[in-house]
Every structure is written in structure tokens, then in C-alpha cells.
């Protein structure tokens, strides 16, 4: 994996563990020679990931919608800052520029990005690993809901392993690197659906 799209919050939670996590992830990716593709902001966890990766000599590509860039929250320190018309173009750029997706704690925007990456993988728009760093148990309820969707039959058996979740970054990156693409819906026969 040469580049990962990193999805995380633009907020700065009161609990300092989250900013420390984002900083550690940014630094660790740069030290591994993995470039960061992210939302292009300079605030919150996003800014911490980018700042730490840049400080460690890593490549950081920011992708930010025009409206947010004009609100002066864009990070001018990125190796490359790409301004796109809107959110759909932003997510397409994340997919085009990265070899996988790494999700850290965040809010609604982070969840939107995560589920779109999973959905696009199910359909066959990409065959890249989708990783979820479940630090501090932040995603426990989400993972339980994902399990419920699997057990109820809303996620097909062929797609159960798309979402790769771990508590530790090293193990998550190892599993993501070993990911083998599944059979996408676009290639399934009607009887398999």
C-alpha cells in the first residue's frame, strides 16, 4: 500500500487520547512510507494526522471541497492540495488516489466516507481494503451493528470480510495488506443476490 485515504474527524474532542492517536497514526504511516490522502483540513484529528505525517517526512495529499477551502480551513502545508467542486468529487478522489481506506474516530462525515468505501467495495467500484481502527472501543457499537446486518442477511456472506477492524494499527495494516478482493455485486449472478 503506497497511499491510504485516512478518514477521521475534523473536531478536537476534549479527550486528548484521540488527538494523540491521530498524531501517532500520521507519524507511523509516514515512517512506513505510506502516503496520506485526507480531507485537506488543518483542524481536529484530520490536522493532527496530516501534521504528524508531514513532520515525519511523509507525503500528504489533501482533497477539499471549494466551500471548505474558501472558509479558510484548508491546510496549505500539504504536499499537494486538491480543491474539488463538492463532496462527491472528494470521495471519488480519495478512491482514485489511494490503495485503501483507514478510518479513525470521527463523526457523521467520517461515517459517510467509511460506509461509501464499504458500499463501493460491495458493488465493485473498487477492490481496496477498508480498515477501521477501533481505538479505545470507539467503534464497538458500530461493529455490533455491522454484525447485526450480517446476521440478518443484509450483508451477503461474500462481503462479510470487507470491513477490517482492529484495535491496533500494526495489526490492522498487516490485515489490510493481506486483503484479498471478494466477488462484487457487479459480477454476481442473479441467484447469488
Local confidence pLDDT in tens for the 193 residues of the chain = 999 999 999 999 999 999 999 999 999 999 999 999 999 999 999 999 999 999 999 999 999 999 998 887 899 999 999 999 999 999 999 999 999 999 999 999 999 999 999 999 999 999 999 999 999 999 999 999 999 999 999 999 999 999 999 999 999 999 999 999 988 988 887 666 6
Q: Is the pTM higher than 0.75?
A: yes
Contacts of 92 (CB under 8 A, 6+ apart): none
Output the nine-digit C-alpha cell for 25. Answer: 497514526
Predicted local distance difference test score (pLDDT) of residue 191: 66
- Domain-wise residue ranges, the chain: 3-192
Predicted local distance difference test score (pLDDT) of residue 6: 98
Class of the domain covering 3-192: alpha beta
* Long-range contacts from 156-163, C-beta under 8 angstroms, 24+ separation: 156/122, 156/192, 156/193, 158/182, 158/183, 158/188, 158/192, 159/121, 159/122, 162/118, 162/121, 162/122, 162/130, 163/118, 163/130, 163/132
Helix, strand, or coil (residue 16)? coil
Q: Which helix (H) or strand (E) holds 47?
A: helix 44-55
Predicted local distance difference test score (pLDDT) of residue 159: 94
Amino acid at each position: 500500500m503506497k497511499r491510504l485515504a485516512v478518514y477521521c474527524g475534523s473536531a478536537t474532542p476534549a479527550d486528548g487520547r484521540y488527538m494523540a492517536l491521530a498524531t501517532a497514526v500520521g507519524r507511523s504511516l509516514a515512517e512506513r512510507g505510506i502516503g496520506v490522502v485526507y480531507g485537506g483540513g488543518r483542524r481536529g484529528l484530520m490536522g493532527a494526522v496530516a501534521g504528524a505525517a508531514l513532520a515525519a517526512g511523509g507525503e500528504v495529499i489533501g482533497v477539499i471541497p471549494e466551500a471548505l477551502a474558501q472558509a479558510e480551513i484548508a491546510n496549505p502545508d500539504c504536499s499537494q492540495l486538491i480543491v474539488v467542486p463538492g463532496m462527491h468529487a472528494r470521495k471519488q478522489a480519495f478512491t482514485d488516489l489511494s490503495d485503501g481506506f483507514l478510518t479513525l474516530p470521527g463523526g457523521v462525515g467520517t461515517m459517510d466516507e467509511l460506509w461509501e468505501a464499504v458500499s463501493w467495495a460491495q458493488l465493485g467500484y473498487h477492490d481496496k481494503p477498508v480498515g477501521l481502527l477501533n481505538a479505545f472501543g470507539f467503534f464497538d457499537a458500530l461493529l455490533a451493528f455491522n454484525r447485526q446486518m450480517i446476521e440478518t442477511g443484509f450483508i451477503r456472506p461474500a462481503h462479510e470480510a470487507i470491513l477490517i477492524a482492529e484495535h491496533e494499527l500494526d495489526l490492522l495494516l498487516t490485515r489490510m495488506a493481506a486483503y484479498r478482493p471478494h466477488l462484487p455485486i457487479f459480477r454476481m449472478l442473479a441467484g447469488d443476490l
